[in-house]
Amino acid sequence: MIINKPALITPSILSANFAKLGEEIKQVTNAGADWIHIDVMDNHYVPNLTIGPMICKTVRAITTTPLDVHLMVENVDSLIPEFAKSGADIITFHPETSKHIDRTISLIKESKCKAGIALNPTTGLHYLDYVMDKIDVILIMSVNPGFGGQTFLPISISKIIEARRKIDIWENNTKTKKSIILQVDGGVNVNNISKIRSAGANAFVSGSAIFESINYKETIDTMRTEITKSDNLK
Residue boundaries of the structural domains of the chain: 8-232
User: In this predicted model, which residue has the larger pLDDT, 115 or 176?
Assistant: 115
> What is the Cα–Cα distance from 80 to 78, expressed in whole angstroms?
6
200 is in an annotated binding site: no
Mean pLDDT value of segment 20-38:
97
Please identify which of the residues 39, 42, 68, 136 carries the catalytic annotation.
39
- How do residues 126-140 score in pLDDT, each as one tens digit? 999 999 999 999 999
- How do residues 183-234 score in pLDDT, each as one tens digit? 999 999 999 999 999 999 999 999 999 999 999 999 999 999 999 999 988 6
Confidence of residue 1 (pLDDT cuts 50, 70, 90): very low
106 is in an annotated binding site: no
**The pLDDT of residue 6:** 81
Mean pLDDT value of segment 175-183:
88
Please identify which of the residues 136, 185, 221, 231 carries the catalytic annotation.
185
Active-site residue flag, 39: yes
> What is the Cα–Cα distance from 231 to 234, expressed in whole angstroms?
6
The CA-based angle 7-221-165, given to 5 degrees, is: 20
The CA-based angle 197-203-205, given to 5 degrees, is: 105
194 is in an annotated binding site: no
User: In this predicted model, which residue has the larger pLDDT, 33 or 3?
Assistant: 33
116 is in an annotated binding site: no
pLDDT exceeds 50 at position 3: no
Residue 43, helix vs strand vs coil: coil
Handedness of CA 46, 47, 52, 58 (dihedral sign): negative
Active-site residue flag, 185: yes
pTM confidence score: 0.95
Confidence of residue 9 (pLDDT cuts 50, 70, 90): very high
Dihedral pair phi/psi, residue 124, rounded to 5°: -75, 155
Confidence of residue 2 (pLDDT cuts 50, 70, 90): very low
CATH number of the 8-232 domain: 3.20.20.70
87 is in an annotated binding site: no
**The pLDDT of residue 175:** 78
**The pLDDT of residue 125:** 97
- How do residues 50-75 score in pLDDT, each as one tens digit? 999 999 999 999 999 999 999 999 99
**The pLDDT of residue 17:** 96
